[in-house]
Chains A and B, each alone.
Chain A
Amino acid sequence: MAKNDISFFFDPKSIAVIGASGTKGKVGNTVLLNIINSGYKGKIFPINPKSNKICELLCFKTVLDINEDIDVAIFVIPSKFVNLAAKECGKKGVKGLIIISAGFKEIGGEGVKREEELIKIGKKYNMRILGPNCLGFIGLNYNGSFAAETPKNGEIAMISQSGAMLTGMMDYSMTQAFGFSCNISLGNKADLGAVDFIEYLSDDDNTKVILCYLESIKDGDRFLEVLPKATRKKPIVILKSGVSEAGARAASSHTGALAGADLAYDLAFEKCGVIRANTIEDLFDYGEIFLYQPIPQKNSFAIITNAGGPGIVATDAFEREGLKFSSFSEEILHLLRENLPLEAAIFNPIDIVGDAAPDRYEFTMKIIFGINSNQDLGEITTQGALIIVTPQAQTKPSEVAELIYRISSTHLKDIPIVCSFIGGKNISEGRDYLKRNHIPCYHFPDRAAHSLKTLIKRRIYLNSIPLEMLEVPSFKVNKARVKEIFDNVRDDNRTVLLSFETSEIFDCYGIKSPKSRLAQTPRKAMKLQSQIGKTVMKIVSPQIIHKTDVGGILLNIETEQDAFEAYIQIVNNAKKYGPQNAKIYGVEIQEMIDFKSQEKINEIIIGMSQDPCFGNILMFGTGGIYANFMKDVSFALGYKYTREIVKQQIENTKIFSLLQGVRGEPPSDIEAVIDVMLRLSQLITDFPEIVELDINPLLSFMKGYSAVDIKITIKK
């Protein structure tokens, strides 16, 4: 069996039900009946020491009593007996365990130990485990769960961390056109997690779309490795609920504070091409559109409506979602003008007005897509459409629905069509018809636009360079010296680096920062000032994070006497206004940037924080003392951090326009800033012990830059 082979869960030759029961209502009975009633063709072995026969099947005391091979064992026994039975399965050579039983990690204490033991048993006997504490597994071949019903077969794979959510979704699907290739309840994820199943399902021919409901992701590295490959093969939509505990903790740095709790998931999903759903409704909307509608060639849509109001609502929704309107050729506009009523709006969105009968919809669709036309229609730019129907006396929604399906299925196989039939009683037949025929039809246009947007997102992703082909630049750096500095910091029982240390680290990685030395007495400050020249003096204390707040910074120190007095003032301020027992290492004497010689200066914030699941997150944005209030920042995951990604990240901020130069200003040295970001990425990749890093501000000039205030925190 290959290391990551889990095919036996999907197509087992034989299944043992440990804890099978003949008593109606018991989980052991439901599971057994579900397997039988779902038409499973393989062999079923009920295991129950107290019975000889259950549901007309020969019953065994343990799996060891069975003389045939068993692929999958489903556990529905009390948790305290699970590990013993799991060992027997191991000895028997069972390949996979589906442990429905609860009473493991989720109950804490004893349950945690029980789960740890279970994991060890699985590893020892090379068995893969789904669960424990799950609903079970429902595939095309069998229903190995205690769900009330077996859902329709179809092409959506559903993976859920919550069993209850899964049953709800399966029940919902009964009212929809789509069905499932599998429904997998992950439970406690003792062994197998979502990523394992996604990896398998990405190559599963029966699955066209993968939908997931997840509360957490266990192994971020593996997620980043597997998902980008899987999403190239088929769409994956994830509804991720909850906020990570580590993300929720209060952050001590600018980056941490600005990043928010759930950011890493957003970034990771985007990087991997995963479509994130924010609601259950979104999850199914996206699933449905990916399943039934093609990806458009480009972002160029038309709206056809028989009512002005909904047309405006739809236009607003398009703008919100970043959907673009197609432009019609002169020839198309001419035909529309000639054939539609005078009051009709012929420019996109097209309003065919309230009295539009089905033939007007048909005419308009055919013209804008150039169907069956023997006339020269010029360039056809429309790559998809939203068709809005409101029920007027002339509308005949069911007939409109039929013609939309007919045109779409006959002529527009590569063009996505979605509809919004607004209303209740009068349009329900038409809407149901469309849904049955795989044309997404929504109550209101907003959701339609929302779904179309996901198609565009996927188009952009599929057109992007695959992650594995991206080249991450590598710079020549002095890694050994940085390691030494970190070792010294740890020896000093600190986690926050002092300014003179960060200055040297940046020097080792080719990032320019002002000359900086530590003074521990006023007289040493005088001496250093005379060596460095005009200086800025800053308190050096790991406990004082925001130096300005405690009067810990003095600027424009031009003479030795000034330095002497500044030293005393800064230390006194820190003692008076700083935290109790702050350990004061002295005062940093830092070279003062000569602002006058620079024609243009922009204050930038650059930072990183570490997400426990997905690793480094890099931030870029408007810096200075108002950074936290401006919140003009853009984030990117440190994984596969390339020059193109940095450019995109910078372009996503407002300060980008300032860096380019506004009102006749010259541009700033953006390339130099990109260089800093890339070198920083290399630093934090080389040293995973860096948990937080902020540069605020980094002063960007017309030529070059200077990283003025740097904070680095490492792990204990």
Chain B
Amino acid sequence: MVKIFYFSSLHENAGKSFLSIGFIQKLKKERKNFVYFKPIGIPKSAFTNKADPDVGFILNTIYKTEYPYDFISPVSIPDAYYIDLVDSSKKEEFMEKIKKAYEKISKDVDYIIIEGNPSIRKFIRVGLDDVSIAQTLGINELIYVSTESSDRCIDNLFFTKNYYDFRKVSIKGILFNKINFDYIARIKELTEEHINKYNIPVLGIIEKSLELFSPRVEEIKEQIGGELINEQSSSGLNNLVESFLIGAMNAQSAFKYLRQVKRAAFITGGDRSDLAMAALAQDVSVLILTGFIQPDMGVITAANKKGIPIILSPSDTYTTMRNLERLKPGIQKDEMEKVLQLIEKDIDWDLLL
């Protein structure tokens, strides 16, 4: 009998694309006959490229298939003003497209990976939410992906369970994803006392990987519209950034904070050579100099010696930081092995395969 992994979540950014990438790799490794399906893709732009970037990334990297894009992700709905874009006639048309594509690709396979909508609320007004789609496709069980590293995860689980019960579908299992290391032991405690008695299988607890969910310097540069000024250290654009530190104090005081960070993006004014030099002596991935002020030659030389890129930001420090808050780093091509490692290590595959 075909096994279906339909990933759904109460909140956005639960890491469903990450799970899909991991599951695809695992099933490939196990030589299983499977397909990947994302009923509704969400393109970046409503009018130009209608492809969902996550689906595009998956198809271009780890999932080569004979089916065209429209079979893997038959419907594309942009995020902006979508209620107006999907009127009642479109709803039927979209659901029909999803159904047809699903029927086509799900033939003769043993496993189906379905990447649900960003959240179970998404598109509910237009009848294209996860539960409606699942029911249309004849699927009664969804995997619930939880990312809270707090006791709220239990409230959210039972809220979702009640909602699914109401909609007459059930939870196939709960998958804890992107969980802070310090909360893993607590989840195990909660599992024993609050989850097991409701017969909801815990499919896995995946630790939050700083490496995977940290941005690269290149992504930061794009986000802030910055300029690399030391081409000699351009290989550093691939550096991961695990933390951000703003240098506004004197070098001596900054030192205390600099010593504590790892792979940091250090943001300071271009005229603060003292701070830039102090930062370069520590574990920094990039220097972001704001106000588009060129630093001293000494700073550039020291950065080049360590291969650390220097990015000039056109904005002031506050605006630069606000821009960075909007940054959503994605998984990179060279991180596939790491994704597989995490998925293999932290998921109970005996329950799933």
**Chain A contact residues, CB within 8 Å of chain B:** 249-250, 252, 520-521, 523-524, 543-545, 549, 571, 578-586
CB-CB under 8 A from A579, the residues of chain B are 243, 257, 260-262
Please tell me which one of the listed residues A250, A523, A543, A585 contacts residue B262 in the complex, with CB atoms under 8 A apart.
A543
Quote the shortest CB–CB distance from B152 to chain A (angstroms): 15
* CA gap between A582 and B259 in the complex, in Å: 13
Asked, given contacts A581-B210, A586-B185, whether A249 binds B281 with beta carbons under 8 Å apart, the answer is yes
Q: Is B189's CB under 8 angstroms from A521's CB?
A: yes
B250-283 interface with A by 8 A CB criterion: 255-262, 278, 281-282
Q: Is B181's CB under 8 angstroms from A584's CB?
A: yes
Quote the shortest CB–CB distance from A569 to chain B (angstroms): 14
Q: Is A250's CB under 8 angstroms from B182's CB?
A: no
Name A's interface SS. loop
CB-CB under 8 A from B255, the residues of chain A are 250
Quote the shortest CB–CB distance from B205 to chain A (angstroms): 13
CB-CB under 8 A from A583, the residues of chain B are 181-182, 210
* CA gap between A504 and B128 in the complex, in Å: 57
Q: Is B186's CB under 8 angstroms from A520's CB?
A: yes
CB-CB under 8 A from A249, the residues of chain B are 281
CB-CB under 8 A from B244, the residues of chain A are 580
Instruction: Name the residue of chain B whose CB is nearest to the CB of A493.
Output: B211
Q: Is A571's CB under 8 angstroms from B182's CB?
A: yes
CB-CB under 8 A from B181, the residues of chain A are 583-585
For the complex, is B242 an interface residue (Cβ under 8 Å from A)?
yes
Q: Which of A520, A543, A581, A584 has the most CB of B within 10 A?
A: A581
* CA gap between A523 and B193 in the complex, in Å: 13
Q: Is A586's CB under 8 angstroms from B182's CB?
A: yes
Quote the shortest CB–CB distance from B154 to chain A (angstroms): 14
Pick 6 A–B contacts, CB within 8 A, sort by A: A250-B281, A578-B260, A579-B262, A581-B243, A581-B262, A586-B182
* CA gap between A582 and B244 in the complex, in Å: 12
Q: Is B243's CB under 8 angstroms from A580's CB?
A: yes
Instruction: Name the residue of chain A whose CB is nearest to the CB of B211.
Output: A493
Asked, given contacts A250-B282, A523-B189, whether A584 binds B260 with beta carbons under 8 Å apart, the answer is no
Instruction: Name the residue of chain B whose CB is nearest to the CB of A544.
Output: B260
CB-CB under 8 A from A523, the residues of chain B are 189
User: How many of chain B's residues have a CB under 8 angstroms from any CB in A?
Assistant: 23
Q: Is B189's CB under 8 angstroms from A580's CB?
A: no
For the complex, is B234 an interface residue (Cβ under 8 Å from A)?
no
* CA gap between A524 and B182 in the complex, in Å: 13
Q: Is A585's CB under 8 angstroms from B182's CB?
A: yes
Quote the shortest CB–CB distance from A711 to chain B (angstroms): 13
Quote the shortest CB–CB distance from B241 to chain A (angstroms): 10
For the complex, is B179 an interface residue (Cβ under 8 Å from A)?
no
Q: Is B180's CB under 8 angstroms from A584's CB?
A: yes
CB-CB under 8 A from B282, the residues of chain A are 250
* CA gap between A546 and B350 in the complex, in Å: 43
Quote the shortest CB–CB distance from A255 to chain B (angstroms): 14
CB-CB under 8 A from B321, the residues of chain A are none
Instruction: Name the residue of chain A whose CB is nearest to the CB of B184.
Output: A520
Across the A-B interface, the 7 shortest Cβ-Cβ residue pairs: A520-B185, A584-B182, A580-B243, A579-B260, A521-B186, A250-B281, A521-B185
Instruction: Name the residue of chain B whose CB is nearest to the CB of A519.
Output: B185
Contact with A along B281-294 (1 / 0, CB 8 A): 11000000000000
Q: Which of A250, A544, A580, A585 has the most CB of B within 10 A?
A: A580
* CA gap between A250 and B260 in the complex, in Å: 12
* CA gap between A492 and B262 in the complex, in Å: 16
Please tell me which one of the listed residues A545, A549, A581 contacts residue B242 in the complex, with CB atoms under 8 A apart.
A581
* CA gap between A252 and B243 in the complex, in Å: 18
B278-312 interface with A by 8 A CB criterion: 278, 281-282
* CA gap between A238 and B331 in the complex, in Å: 55
CB-CB under 8 A from A578, the residues of chain B are 260
Instruction: Name the residue of chain B whose CB is nearest to the CB of A539.
Output: B182
CB-CB under 8 A from A581, the residues of chain B are 210, 242-243, 262
Q: Is A524's CB under 8 angstroms from B259's CB?
A: no
Instruction: Name the residue of chain B whose CB is nearest to the CB of A251.
Output: B259
Please tell me which one of the listed residues A521, A571, A580, A584 contacts residue B261 in the complex, with CB atoms under 8 A apart.
A580
CB-CB under 8 A from A586, the residues of chain B are 182, 185
* CA gap between A586 and B256 in the complex, in Å: 23
Please tell me which one of the listed residues B184, B210, B242, B259 contacts residue A250 in the complex, with CB atoms under 8 A apart.
B259
* CA gap between A684 and B186 in the complex, in Å: 36
Asked, given contacts A252-B259, A580-B261, whether A520 binds B182 with beta carbons under 8 Å apart, the answer is yes
CB-CB under 8 A from A250, the residues of chain B are 255, 258-259, 278, 281-282
B210-261 interface with A by 8 A CB criterion: 210, 242-245, 255-261
